[in-house]
Amino acid sequence: MTAQAKKPPRWADAVPAREAQFEIKRRALVREAARAFGRSGFHNTSLEEIAEALGVTKPALYRYVRTKHEILFEAKTIAFDAGARARDMAAAESSDPLERLRLYIVHYIDLVTSELGSYAVLAEPVTSLPPELAEPIRGRMREADRALRAMVQAAMDSGAMPQGDPKLAVAFFMGAINHIARWYDPNGKMTGRQIGETFAGFVLNGLRGRG
C-alpha cells in the first residue's frame, strides 16, 4: 500500500493570517481618517469622529492607533510607499528616461489617490508630527527627492530635455502634484489615473520647453 500524500495544512492561503487581517483593518482606518481629515482638517477631526465614521467604538479604534498623529504618520508612509512603487513600475515598463518620468507621475497620482481615498492629509506639514514620527518621514522625503532628481538628470543627460537644475525641476512638478491634495475629490469627475495622465503631460511639456 502506498503512503498517502501529505495533506496541506487546513485553510492554507484561504484566510489571511491574523497579522494580515490586522493590517487590512488598520489600512481601512487610515483611508477613512484621510477622508475625515480632508473634510474637516487634521486639527479639527477627533478620533471619536473617525470611530463613528468606521462604525466602531473608540476603545476598538485604540486597538489599531493611539493618536491622530499616528494616523498622519501612517498616511504619509503610505504615500512614500506609493512613490517608491511608482518608481519601480516606471523602471520596469520603460528604459527611456523621459518616459520613465512620465510613467512615474501617472502611477504615483493613481496609486496615492486610490490608496488614501482622499489624500488631503498629505498637505498637512511634517511639523504637525512629534519629533519621533517627523524624523522618519523627513528621511523618506530626502530619499524620494534624491531618486526623483536622478530621474530628471537622466532625462537631461539623454537630451530629452534641456540641461538645468534637477532640484528645481523636482520642486516644480512635485509642488504641483502635491497641491492636488488640496482639491482632489474621490467622487469627482476625473479618476486619479486621468489626473495623472493630464499632469504628466503638463509636466513634460513644461520641462522640455520650446524644444
Which tens digit of pLDDT belongs to each residue from 10-57? Answer: 444 555 677 778 888 888 888 877 777 777 788 888 888 888 878 888
Contact 166, 156 (CB under 8 A): yes
Sign of the torsion formed by the C-alpha atoms of 182, 187, 192 and 197: negative
Task: Please report which confidence band the pLDDT of residue 90 belongs to, taking 50, 70 and 90 as the band edges.
Answer: very high
- Rounded CA gap, 175 and 51, in Å? 32
Q: Where are the alpha helices (DSSP H) in 97-130?
A: 97-116
Q: How far is CA 119 from the centre of its chain?
A: 8
Return the pLDDT at 211.
45
Q: Which three cell numbers stand for residue 197?
A: 495622465
**Contact indicator for 134, 127 with CB cutoff of 8 Å:** yes
Is the pLDDT score of 85 beyond 60? yes
pLDDT at 117: 60
Q: What is the pLDDT of residue 5?
A: 53
Name the maximum alpha-carbon separation found in the chain.
Answer: 80
Query: What pLDDT score was predicted for residue 118?
Result: 59
CATH T-level fold of 73-208: Tetracycline Repressor; domain 2 (1.10.357)
58-67, 161-170, 182-191: which is most confident: 161-170
Residues of the chain with pLDDT > 70, as a percent, come to 90
